[in-house]
Structure 1
């Protein structure tokens, strides 16, 4: 496996020069190494956890059409091809980075230490559901409009909030909720809610009509999540309350079991996310070029 890394800042808009820079960079790799021309890139992959990755590669049509895209929380957009591309769970750091516990790290990295006190190992979950995020899609706006009807939920509507802020302010509420609501957002980065659900042990409620669930050919999502249509907003509380307690307990235990598949380790551990991603890439080794 031959890997090359290239980083661009997400803090700035993406003008044409970045698209052209990425095009020149990829063309340089193609001309320097012989591997691309064997399949026109069908046995190559690239990782982009933001939908900006598609925008940045628009000047390289064969890269989008042929190479395998690993993207976070993909919806069925015009560039995502389910049988070719891979849904990558968004990475959620739950410990501070090695360079310390300072204001810069806490404000720029979604990193919070898990509460591992005794009461947090098996916390009482007294709230039916939790969600915090920006109302930037139709289904999220419906949650805002009807929030008064959801008496047993903890909803926090914030604009352009850093995930570190959500984790810092609301981690106890996530620990205290039976379900974590994961409504579709306007961008692919909205899928971090799934990673939060796994980390905090609440059963994810996925509300997205067009969503390729990570590792859905390996994991049986119905056994540890609730998958609803976006139009089910008004019935959300009724649907969740109708789930028998025994079934919920089983789903909750399954969440605790499968969350090991959503973690990265260095070096990789057996059956962690690295190995599941490698399995997905291996399955696509015979995908034909377009």
Structure 2
């Protein structure tokens, strides 16, 4: 074998380990943090032995894969600076190995590197932004020792995965912008950052309510120590503080009503199951889109066909009553979709299937039924597949309704009327309207792209812009709220001390205290 492809073993990593690494070439994006930590230990062992070049000569693409996997846990465990250093080394190695790409593909050693495109910005290696010119200023608390992870800010490289990734991405994006401030006196909002769901998955935190769940315990500790951890809370009694809750997050902290009821919630849903309408106040809270993973929407974009090449009328594939009691008891609409449309010409419905992205990209419409709650990430995924969403969730509160006209590119159909009438309605849509709506879907996809990769020159839309505009509209209302002072006109309170200067006293400036 040529140099770089021997993989016979070196001083730290032996041949059997290289074989195991090779099995991760296609799955490196999806690996859990514990697997990333194993690879990080191998990489650190190579560095400690001063044997990096030795291992590159033996199995260069194996080293590359090790670094690609390890950098996520390095970011989570040691911070952004350490991860950025490793990533820069990774980029250098990738550039060095680029001429061998074809050989690496033949040897099944070439990893898909497309997802690395978002790493520079996530690691602070790209230029800061101007927050779309927003006048708002955000103060972001540094909670170094509060959560089980120790640092509520760490690990965006890993925690940005999944539909809950917005919990990590929103604080990360704000920190990179000109709208962040270290001066609390000029702050409009105070952001409390915590990757709640990410930490729950990593530390297996108990989310139950009895007696007190682990997540509740962390929040309760925060509120007990708010003078220490949230020193600016008293300015507006928390009304200018932001909390991010994704996917029923408030159910993990049921005590929120006693502690943060007046704070601003950034959430993915306007109606949280088990919590009710009181969990969302339209005058203060903001609905934001769910987060589709970068690799998922990138793959959907690749199979987004023009309207004239689409041969399916509509599709739905996902969980339904056949998957368990939560969908059998509470989700009638998904059951109707399966029962009514299975086998209908030009329709593809059912559970999870291979080629799901291709099915979406070949469909004119994507059905978006409610899940275990009113919202579902099926809506936001449909935009990257260029598939006109048909929302079948009566209580779905769509984001940014004040900034974008949902009627131009989506349909909202009543859940009780899921029948062949829906099929014939979609089938009868005039072709010119169908093509216009599809073009509008593509044009609005940028509103749901948390990684900004779809942004074209001069394009002015993103979920961050939608969030900023929503918060700008809410900001004046806080100025009209009464102040937080508990006492006033103290001079007239019996027993208080009135201090006056005695102008006629023998000593100049003598102060007398008179008890009233």
Q: TM-score, structure 2 length as denominator?
A: 0.47
What is the match of residue 20 of structure 1? 217
Q: Does 1:75 align with 2:290?
A: no
Report the structure, 1 or 2, having the larger helix content.
2
User: What is the distance in 2 between the residues matched to 1:225 and 1:116?
Assistant: 18
Aligned-pair distance for 1:113? Answer: 4.0
CA contact (8 A) 1:89 1:191 kept: no
CA contact (8 A) 1:73 1:212 kept: yes
Gaps of 5+ in 1: 96-110, 159-165
What is the match of residue 60 of structure 1? 256
User: What is the distance in 1 between the residues matched to 2:385 and 2:252?
Assistant: 34
What is the match of residue 251 of structure 1? 437
CA contact (8 A) 2:301 2:384 kept: no
Written as runs of structure 1 = structure 2, the 5 A alignment for 1:211-230 is: 211-230=396-415
CA contact (8 A) 1:54 1:64 kept: no
- The DSSP-based 3-state class of the residue aligned with 1:284 is helix
User: What is the distance in 2 between the residues matched to 1:65 and 1:55?
Assistant: 13
What is the match of residue 49 of structure 1? 246
What is the match of residue 285 of structure 2? 85
Aligned residues: 264
What is the match of residue 306 of structure 2? 122
- Could you give the per-residue CA deviations for residues 98-123 of structure 1, whole angstroms, max 9, x where no partner exists? xxxxxxxxxxxxx4642666x75537
- The DSSP-based 3-state class of the residue aligned with 1:218 is coil
Give the counterpart of 2:472 among 274, 282, 286.
282
CA contact (8 A) 2:193 2:243 kept: no
| CA pair 238-23 structure 1, distance change in 2 beyond 3 A | same
CA contact (8 A) 2:366 2:389 kept: yes
User: What is the distance in 2 between the residues matched to 1:268 and 1:112?
Assistant: 10
- Could you give the per-residue CA deviations for residues 106-149 of structure 1, whole angstroms, max 9, x where no partner exists? xxxxx4642666x7553711100011111221211221222337
What is the match of residue 368 of structure 2? 182
| CA pair 84-115 structure 1, distance change in 2 beyond 3 A | closer
| CA pair 27-239 structure 1, distance change in 2 beyond 3 A | farther
Q: Does 1:261 align with 2:452?
A: no
What is the match of residue 139 of structure 2? 2
- The DSSP-based 3-state class of the residue aligned with 1:131 is strand
- Could you give the per-residue CA deviations for residues 63-96 of structure 1, whole angstroms, max 9, x where no partner exists? 552112111143373312223221111110132x
User: What is the distance in 2 between the residues matched to 1:150 and 1:83?
Assistant: 44
Q: CA RMSD in A?
A: 2.7
> Bigger radius of gyration, 1 or 2?
2
User: What is the distance in 1 between the residues matched to 2:385 and 2:433?
Assistant: 19
User: What is the distance in 1 between the residues matched to 2:453 and 2:231?
Assistant: 29
Structure with more relative contact order (C-alpha pairs < 8 Å, separation 6 or more): 1
Gaps of 5+ in 2: 1-137, 141-191, 321-326, 483-516
